[in-house]
Amino acid sequence: MSIITMKFGGTSVGSPEAISNLVQIVREARDAGDQVVVIVSAMAGTTDALLRSITFAREGNRWSYRELSDKLRDKHEDAINFLMDASPERESIINEIRRLLDQHHDLCDAIAILGDATPRAIDHAVTFGERMSSAMISAVLSAHGVPAQAFDAGQLLVTDDVHQNATPQWDATRANITERLIPQIEKGVVPVITGFIGATPDGVYTTLGRGGSDYSAAIFAAYVNSDQFIVWTDVDGVMTTDPRIDKRARVLSKVSYQEVGEMAFYGAKVLHPKTVQPIVNRGIPIWVRNTFNPTHPGTLISHDSDDTGTVIKAVTAVRQVSLLTVSGAGMLGVPGIAGRSFLATAGAGANILMISQASSEQSFCFSVLQHQAPQVKAAVEAELAEEIQQNNVDGVHIRDDVSIVTVIGAGMRGIPGVAGRVFTRMGEQGANVLAIAQGSSECSISFVVEESIVRDAVIGLHDLALEAV
Ligand code: ASP
Ligand code: MG
């Protein structure tokens, strides 16, 4: 008997049909003798709707958030009525959903009075999405003969108080899971846990950032000692590239933790970038599978990387990026300028996507998401004010409308000429490369191109990933 942790994303709980598939999937695993732990996202579109309701509340637009709340109620009730026969249990889950939405409505009223919403209030408001879906899914599973119990991760997953991007506190979280969750699993109950949300040690709700349910699920998978972690989604697996950019994209059967980490960081939407962190040391295999096509085997993510016969396995792109260049003749040999610039960037709340420096040491550049570039420029210039005043540093130059293209493949390690092939292909495409970086793991090469040619660049490089298959 093994423990399988399953995460169902927004579309996988987003309609009565999807939830029927979920029930079938959980039931089959239990029939095969496995214990199942379920983590759910909010029904597709719910988190966005809850965020819109906050905006309406802030603007004092009471009618609009009322309407949104009614729509959310209908969406959940329709699914419940479709999936459960009339019964006291059905009445009780419908009441539970109404109770949660009433709380959400009260919160919106409070925000409307204040005319302002703190990050703490926003986090509280979005928790209702996952809290409704876990209550609903647990009731539906029970109605179909699977003993299930809803869990609010606000009582399990302890985090710091950085709202909207909280970091888990591992020891406290593990202790809660061991104490409250594992005994239920041992009794044969299927816990249905809210993804995405946690709480501070004082019990104030936090969230792990958009798309964070994958990450929550990986934490639960690790601490319940899962034998397997399955991410159920709406595509067949991890793909060689975004099929909206290149229709030839195909599903990879096996990728390594490291490869998938690079893919997620560099724009592939399939998993939250932090998902592999809690899993990798324990070596728990992750499967990415399609709720709507459950006979497809999906992608296996583990320590091993599949030899696809191509050096490049996947191509990704991060759009709407800015390239920031710090330059100045007086920087040569002056230690600490890069370090201080990167600290100032972090202080401005921006994540650095890529760094590159030429050996002349007279300039270096790095990229951040475009909407963060102005505040990063201001923060770095403030940090280097003295050097700028002394003319040792010229200042920070921003180039907008660029993208980062990344080619990924563990097989490129130690193989000469990969970068050569990549950039020859870019030359053939007429793509001007603005900056280049290679991770020291040699599992990816990233470079910056103008936004206008990113599609051609991705398609051209994707040829290399398809060639030898
Ligand atoms: N519901 C949250 C979101 O839409 C978290 C998730 O689904 O992963 O971002
Ligand atoms: Mg997701």
Q: Residues lining ligand 1, judged by CB closer than 6 Å?
A: 9-10, 41-42, 47, 129, 195-196, 210-213
Ligand nearest to the CA of 49: 1
Which of 40, 210, 215 gets mutated to test ligand 1 (max ligand atoms within 8 A of its CB)?
210
Distance (angstroms) between ligand 2 centre and the Cα of 4 equals 19
Check whether 39 has a pLDDT greater than 50: yes
Which residues contact residue 57 at a Cβ distance below 8 angstroms, ignoring those fewer than 6 apart?
65, 107, 108, 109, 111, 112, 117
Q: Cα–Cα distance between 219 and 205 in angstroms, integer?
A: 17
Check whether 434 has a pLDDT greater than 80: yes
Q: Cα–Cα distance between 444 and 461 in angstroms, integer?
A: 13
Instruction: For residue 165, report the phi and psi dihedrals to the nearest 5 degrees.
Output: -160, 50
Please give the C-alpha separations between residue 121 and each of 127, 131, 209, 408, in angstroms, as whole numbers.
Answer: 10, 16, 14, 39
Q: Which residue has the tokens 């061991």?
A: 178
Count of alpha carbons within 13 angstroms of residue 210, beta-carbon side: 9
Ligand nearest to the CA of 196: 1
Return the number of other C-beta atoms located less than 10 Å from residue 182's C-beta.
16
Check whether 8 has a pLDDT greater than 60: yes
Give the pLDDT confidence score for residue 333 in this predicted structure. 75
For residue 321, give the H/E element and its range: strand 314-327
Torsion angle of the four alpha carbons 247, 249, 250, 252, in this order, in degrees rounded to the nearest 10: -160
Ligand nearest to the CA of 233: 2
Distance (angstroms) between ligand 2 centre and the Cα of 213 equals 7
Which of 13, 47, 208 gets mutated to test ligand 1 (max ligand atoms within 8 A of its CB)?
47
Distance (angstroms) between ligand 2 centre and the Cα of 12 equals 10
Give the pLDDT confidence score for residue 469 in this predicted structure. 44
Type of residue at 154? G
Q: What band does 329 get if pLDDT is binned at 50, 70 and 90?
A: confident
**366-414, pLDDT tens digit by residue?**
999 999 999 999 999 999 999 999 999 999 999 999 999 999 988 888 7
Ligand 1, atom 8, lies closest to the CA of 211
Q: Among 11-25, 48-62, 273-287, 438-452, which stretch is predicted with the lowest mean pLDDT?
A: 438-452
Q: What band does 468 get if pLDDT is binned at 50, 70 and 90?
A: low
Packing angle of the helix pair 88-114, 119-143 (nearest 10 deg): 170
For residue 363, give the H/E element and its range: strand 363-369
Q: Cα–Cα distance between 305 and 197 in angstroms, integer?
A: 32
Of 77-86, 345-354, 414-423, highest mean pLDDT: 77-86
Which of 8, 41, 165 gets mutated to test ligand 1 (max ligand atoms within 8 A of its CB)?
41
Q: Which domains does the chain have, with CATH numbers?
A: 3-234 (3.40.1160.10), 314-466 (3.30.2130.10)
Give the pLDDT confidence score for residue 440 in this predicted structure. 65
Q: What band does 236 get if pLDDT is binned at 50, 70 and 90?
A: very high
Distance (angstroms) between ligand 1 centre and the Cα of 269 equals 12
Check whether 57 has a pLDDT greater than 70: yes
Q: What band does 1 get if pLDDT is binned at 50, 70 and 90?
A: confident
Return the number of other C-beta atoms located less than 10 Å from residue 46's C-beta.
24
Distance (angstroms) between ligand 2 centre and the Cα of 214 equals 6
Radius of gyration (C-alpha) of the chain in whole angstroms: 24
Ligand nearest to the CA of 165: 1
Instruction: For residue 242, report the phi and psi dihedrals to the nearest 5 degrees.
Output: -70, 115
Q: Which residue has the tokens 């003749």?
A: 329
How high does pLDDT run on average in the chain? Answer: 95
> Helix, strand or coil for residue 5?
strand
Ligand nearest to the CA of 130: 1
Give the pLDDT confidence score for residue 410 in this predicted structure. 85
**180-209, pLDDT tens digit by residue?**
999 999 999 999 999 999 999 999 999 999
**120-153, pLDDT tens digit by residue?**
999 999 999 999 999 999 999 999 999 999 999 9
Distance (angstroms) between ligand 2 centre and the Cα of 330 equals 46
Please give the C-alpha separations between residue 268 and each of 190, 239, 323, 325, in angstroms, as whole numbers.
Answer: 31, 9, 20, 26
Give the pLDDT confidence score for residue 308 in this predicted structure. 67
* pLDDT above 90: percentage of residues in the chain: 87
Give the pLDDT confidence score for residue 37 in this predicted structure. 98
Give the pLDDT confidence score for residue 416 in this predicted structure. 82
Distance (angstroms) between ligand 2 centre and the Cα of 272 equals 7
Which of 213, 215, 219, 275 gets mutated to test ligand 1 (max ligand atoms within 8 A of its CB)?
213
Give the ligand 1 atom nearest the CA of 208: 5
Q: What band does 106 get if pLDDT is binned at 50, 70 and 90?
A: very high
